[in-house]
């Protein structure tokens, strides 16, 4: 078997909290192991209620937070100990984040097209302005927008859903292999959520990008996931093929998942 793209091997994260006399240890993530294959793009979903350790997991995968136990390997790199400029750059190109609030991801005073041009120059292959414009337009079209629509616009002039699309376009400019999306639609209108998560399917199928999709939204999770892990209090309580988890839910949380996708609101989920 070939090396996986991403491997989490018994990863843990413990935070120390409180004062000298009341110091507590918070085990945000306990003994988490999974892999993402290198040869086949997939949508791997981490689902769980608030405080279950999802964002801490995302931040460790992104190299923002170091594990206190275990190891993370991405494409031959030790994520917990990236050394040297070349390794850091390779990692930053290959693993791109999408966060919950797109308005925090952009400088409010900078026009979106200029921001994308800068990113294309810095991260992409653009050598001049014309090429930066072409790459920005290409990336925006992959998310259902165009450069003409972004031209001269500031972040606050777009809706949350539109701006999240721009954030995805920006991520695409570095040709990532993996996107880590931490609750990317929880601030987006319910009616637009499915359209955005369906973009992830297109990135998987057409560009071969794997997605780690973090959510507590059961309907979108079921609709786009290949595999699911369910986390509770830092631990995985259920894991497997998304449909298998649904067909034979063992855990109360996965039973809720089943009920949520059986509601009349999401009849397409089961039909697909």
Ligand X SMILES: Nc1ncnc2c1ncn2[C@@H]1O[C@H](COP(=O)(O)OP(=O)(O)O)[C@@H](O)[C@H]1O
Nearer to Mg ion among residue 55 and residue 223 (C-beta) = 55
Strand order in the sheet with 24-36: 24-36, 6-17, 69-74, 77-78
Taking CB under 6 A as the binding criterion, the range among 32-40, 44-52, 67-75, 136-144 that sits at the site for ligand X is: 44-52
Within residues 48-77, the interface with ligand X by CB under 6 A covers 48, 50-56
| CA separation for the pair 16, 266 (Å, rounded) | 42
Q: Binding partner of residue 15 among ligand X, Mg ion, none, CB under 5 to 8 Å per kind?
A: ligand X
For residue 12, the cross-strand partners are 69
The candidate with the shortest Cα–Cα distance to 243, out of 217, 264, 261, is: 261
Nearer to ligand X among residue 169 and residue 197 (C-beta) = 197
Asked whether the beta carbons of 210 and 43 are under 8 A apart, the reply is yes
Task: Tell the smallest beta-carbon distance from residue 56 to Mg ion (Å).
Answer: 8
Residue linked to tokens 């693993």? 95
Q: Binding partner of residue 2 among ligand X, Mg ion, none, CB under 5 to 8 Å per kind?
A: none
The residues binding Mg ion (CB under 5 A) are 54-55
Task: Tell the smallest beta-carbon distance from residue 174 to Mg ion (Å).
Answer: 24
| CA separation for the pair 121, 160 (Å, rounded) | 26
Task: Tell the smallest beta-carbon distance from residue 214 to Mg ion (Å).
Answer: 7
Q: Binding partner of residue 52 among Mg ion, ligand X, none, CB under 5 to 8 Å per kind?
A: ligand X
Task: Tell the smallest beta-carbon distance from residue 39 to ligand X (Å).
Answer: 30
Q: Judged by CB under 6 A, does residue 26 bind ligand X?
A: yes
Q: Judged by CB under 6 A, does residue 100 bind ligand X?
A: no
Non-local (6+) Cβ contacts of 32 within 8 A are 8, 10, 11, 12, 53, 57, 70, 235, 236
Q: Judged by CB under 6 A, does residue 37 bind ligand X?
A: no
Q: Judged by CB under 6 A, does residue 229 bind ligand X?
A: no
Nearer to Mg ion among residue 55 and residue 96 (C-beta) = 55
Task: Tell the smallest beta-carbon distance from residue 21 to Mg ion (Å).
Answer: 29
Asked whether the beta carbons of 43 and 49 are under 8 A apart, the reply is no
Task: Tell the smallest beta-carbon distance from residue 183 to Mg ion (Å).
Answer: 6
Q: What are the Cα distances from residue 112, in Å, to 46, 134, 143, 188, 268?
A: 30, 15, 15, 19, 35
Binding site for ligand X (CB under 6 A): 15, 17, 26, 28, 48, 50-56
């Amino acid at each position: 078997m070939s090396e996986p793209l991403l491997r989490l091997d018994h990863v843990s994260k413990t935070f120390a909290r409180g004062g000298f006399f009341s110091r507590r240890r918070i085990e945000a993530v306990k003994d988490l192991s999974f892999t993402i294959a290198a040869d086949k793009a997939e949508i791997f979903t981490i689902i769980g209620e608030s405080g279950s350790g999802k964002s801490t997991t995302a931040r460790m995968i992104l190299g923002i937070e170091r594990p206190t136990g275990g190891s993370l390997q991405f494409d031959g790199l030790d994520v917990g100990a990236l050394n040297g400029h070349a390794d850091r750059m390779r990692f930053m190109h290959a693993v791109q984040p999408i966060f919950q609030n797109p308005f925090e991801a952009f400088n409010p005073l900078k026009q979106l097209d200029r921001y994308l041009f800068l990113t294309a120059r810095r991260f992409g292959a653009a050598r001049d302005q014309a090429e930066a414009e072409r790459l920005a337009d290409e990336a925006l079209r992959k998310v259902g927008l165009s450069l003409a629509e972004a031209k001269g616009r500031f972040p606050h002039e777009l809706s949350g859903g539109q701006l999240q699309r721009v954030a995805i376009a920006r991520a695409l400019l570095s040709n990532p292999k993996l996107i880590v999306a931490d609750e990317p639609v929880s601030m987006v209108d319910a009616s637009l959520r499915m359209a955005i998560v369906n973009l992830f399917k297109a990135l998987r199928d057409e560009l071969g990008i794997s997605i780690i999709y973090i959510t507590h939204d059961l309907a979108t999770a079921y609709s786009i996931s290949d595999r699911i892990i369910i986390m509770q209090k830092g631990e995985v309580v259920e894991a497997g093929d998304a449909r298998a988890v649904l067909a034979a839910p063992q855990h109360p949380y996965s039973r809720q998942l089943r009920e949520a996708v059986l509601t009349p609101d999401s009849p397409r989920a089961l039909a697909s």
